[in-house]
Chain A
Amino acid sequence: MTSTSDPHGHGHHRFQAHHFDTGEQQFQAGKLGMWLFLATEVLFFSGMFCAYAVYRSNHPEIFANSSQYLDTWLGAFNTLILLASSLSVAWAVRCAQLNNSAGIVYNLVFTLVCAGVFMGVKSVEYTLKFYEGLWWRSKYVPQIPGQHHDLTQAYADLQNFGLVTLAVGVALVILGYLLAGRNPAGRWTFWALGGSVLGIAVGCLGGNIYTQSKMSHGHTASHGHSDVDHHEAGHDDSSHHAANPPETSTTVPTETTPGDAPATTGGEGSDEADAADVDDAVPTAINPVPLAGDHGADVAQMPPPVVVTPEGPVEFDGLGRKFPGIFFSIYYAMTGVHAVHILIGIGVIVWIVARAAAGHFGSDYYGPVEYVGLYWHLVDLIWIYLFPLLYLI
């Protein structure tokens, strides 16, 4: 089947299925099917948006507090990257309508590079959060105010991952030359895959360099500012402990004086031995050790009380130890499912690139380009809502 007319001599396009009267009917049927699929996708994601709305409306302080651990600039950069990828997909559809096969291929390979960069930046965000203990609800490690995590290992891991993906991407591009010979579809399949993997490498290495420089640069400026916020909040908590015990039963703190030595537990210290026997052990409040290089003056003036439970210290004792983790459960569920959609999108766009390189698409037949484009725009649409909901407000 290499000619444009079908072998039965019906005179219709070779990709027109027999049960359709015309190519136009086939195109519109497929498009309606794609819109119905996108409708189910919207409903599917709405379940997670609903979870977000419920937890946010009942615990607004958790969301305001937790979103400070997300990097707005990485999220904004990824938003721009996805918008650019959507532009090139729309441009690819235009090229198909104008019989420009090369234009489809170039635009969609650009889309794939953007998709790779998005995933690379996401890998930086996830990896750093895992090293900081910002897991989902069941693995969440409560954050100590003013604590700076040692992320040297995370940066090294990310650099290794980025260099490996860089090597794999280059290898895929070279393999395209060596294995596929003069077959354009095979060659562009390798180059499209190589482009996405190279995009991952660029996103990962670039995001890694950015977060490292931000850490070393903003250690005293921006981070110091948030430390002060923590201490003020913590200080205020302590003045309210006696009058207003927190609602959550698991985190009833005991009052301690600011002068207590860090290692010394509060008045309930003798209960520590019993703590192992009781499920909900009575937590005790201590003053954390001021970390080296931290702002000694601030710490001395306003010691933050930190509730220590058998599971570890808890930030903002009034919040209860479980709550910040719920934000990250929702964060990982929503961004994770979105990232899976990006990966599936990479797969189908590689398929479209291969077919476009083989010359399958033109103004009389470009349904698959259009359908995959609609899917990619929907993935972009979901992110347009995810970015402000998780990173900004």
Chain B
Amino acid sequence: MNHDAPAHSSPHHVTSLPVLFGTFAALVVLTIVTVAQARVEGIELGKFEIAVTLAIATLKAGLVAMVFMQLIYDKPFNRVVILSTLVFVALFLSFTIMDTAEYMPDIRNFTLDNPNVE
């Protein structure tokens, strides 16, 4: 590392303030959207609600990881480390809930018996 170099010539990416604040603003807007989607009367997404909510959360997580954690400017190997972890998490979750269909008849019966229990 060159010690004589001026301060701003850091070998690492320096994120500009407009990008940082823009990301923060996007995160706040997405938070408001997800709360409004869940709580405001009249916005009913039905069976898509869980998917939409998790998609918004994943978008927020991506913004934090890519900009705040600077993953987009990071070495590819660091990206491989964290993204391969997500592959194993997906394997873990999908194998564990693989037999969920077994319980669907019970859930359906309960829903038929208690139509007003959401």
**A84→B24 contact, CB < 8 A:** yes
Interface size class of B (residues with CB under 8 A): 35 or more
**A318→B113 contact, CB < 8 A:** yes
Name B82's contact: one of A38, A318, A363 (CB within 8 Å): A38
> Does B43 have its Cβ within 8 Å of any Cβ on chain A?
no
Q: Is the interface of B mostly helix, strand, loop or mixed?
A: helix
Q: Which of A46-69 contact B (CB under 8 A)?
A: 46, 49-50, 53-54, 57-61, 64-65
> Does B72 have its Cβ within 8 Å of any Cβ on chain A?
no
> Does A164 have its Cβ within 8 Å of any Cβ on chain B?
no
Instruction: Determine the distance from Cα of A26 to Cα of B116 in the docked complex, in whole angstroms.
Output: 61
Instruction: Determine the distance from Cα of A97 to Cα of B23 in the docked complex, in whole angstroms.
Output: 19
**A53→B97 contact, CB < 8 A:** yes
Nearest residue in B to A234 (C-beta to C-beta)? B116
B23 neighbours in A (Cβ, 8 Å)? 87
**B38→A392 contact, CB < 8 A:** yes
**B56→A388 contact, CB < 8 A:** yes
Chain B 31-43, CB-CB to A under 8 Å as 1, else 0, gives 1001100110000
Instruction: Determine the distance from Cα of A199 to Cα of B3 in the docked complex, in whole angstroms.
Output: 39
Instruction: Determine the distance from Cα of A306 to Cα of B110 in the docked complex, in whole angstroms.
Output: 17
A232 neighbours in B (Cβ, 8 Å)? 116
> Does A39 have its Cβ within 8 Å of any Cβ on chain B?
yes
Name A36's contact: one of B50, B81, B112 (CB within 8 Å): B81
Interface with B: A268-276, A340-348, A373-381, which one?
A373-381
Question: Count of A residues near B, CB < 8 Å?
Answer: 68
Name A86's contact: one of B7, B64, B92, B96 (CB within 8 Å): B64
Closest CB of chain A to B19's CB: distance in Å?
9
**A90→B93 contact, CB < 8 A:** no
With contact pairs A50-B93, A318-B113 given, residues A94 and B61 touching in the complex (Cβ less than 8 Å):
no
**B38→A72 contact, CB < 8 A:** yes
Name A385's contact: one of B61, B84, B88, B107 (CB within 8 Å): B61
**A91→B17 contact, CB < 8 A:** yes
**A43→B89 contact, CB < 8 A:** yes
Instruction: Determine the distance from Cα of A322 to Cα of B67 in the docked complex, in whole angstroms.
Output: 43
Instruction: Determine the distance from Cα of A57 to Cα of B101 in the docked complex, in whole angstroms.
Output: 9
**B64→A364 contact, CB < 8 A:** no
Instruction: Determine the distance from Cα of A99 to Cα of B75 in the docked complex, in whole angstroms.
Output: 23
**A80→B28 contact, CB < 8 A:** yes
**A316→B81 contact, CB < 8 A:** no
**A39→B81 contact, CB < 8 A:** yes
Closest CB of chain B to A196's CB: distance in Å?
21
**A247→B106 contact, CB < 8 A:** yes
**B97→A384 contact, CB < 8 A:** no
Closest CB of chain B to A15's CB: distance in Å?
13
A373 neighbours in B (Cβ, 8 Å)? 68-69
B111 neighbours in A (Cβ, 8 Å)? 61
Chain A 94-118, CB-CB to B under 8 Å as 1, else 0, gives 1001110000000000000000000
Closest CB of chain A to B38's CB: distance in Å?
4
Give the interface of B toward A (CB within 8 A). Answer: 1, 3, 7-8, 10-12, 14-15, 17, 20-21, 23-24, 27-28, 31, 34-35, 38-39, 49-50, 53-54, 56-57, 60-61, 64-65, 67-70, 74-75, 77-78, 81-82, 84-86, 88-89, 92-93, 96-97, 100, 103, 106-107, 109-118
A-B contact pairs, 16 of them (CB 8 A): A39-B84, A50-B96, A53-B93, A61-B117, A83-B31, A86-B68, A87-B20, A87-B24, A87-B68, A91-B17, A233-B117, A362-B7, A380-B68, A381-B61, A392-B39, A392-B53
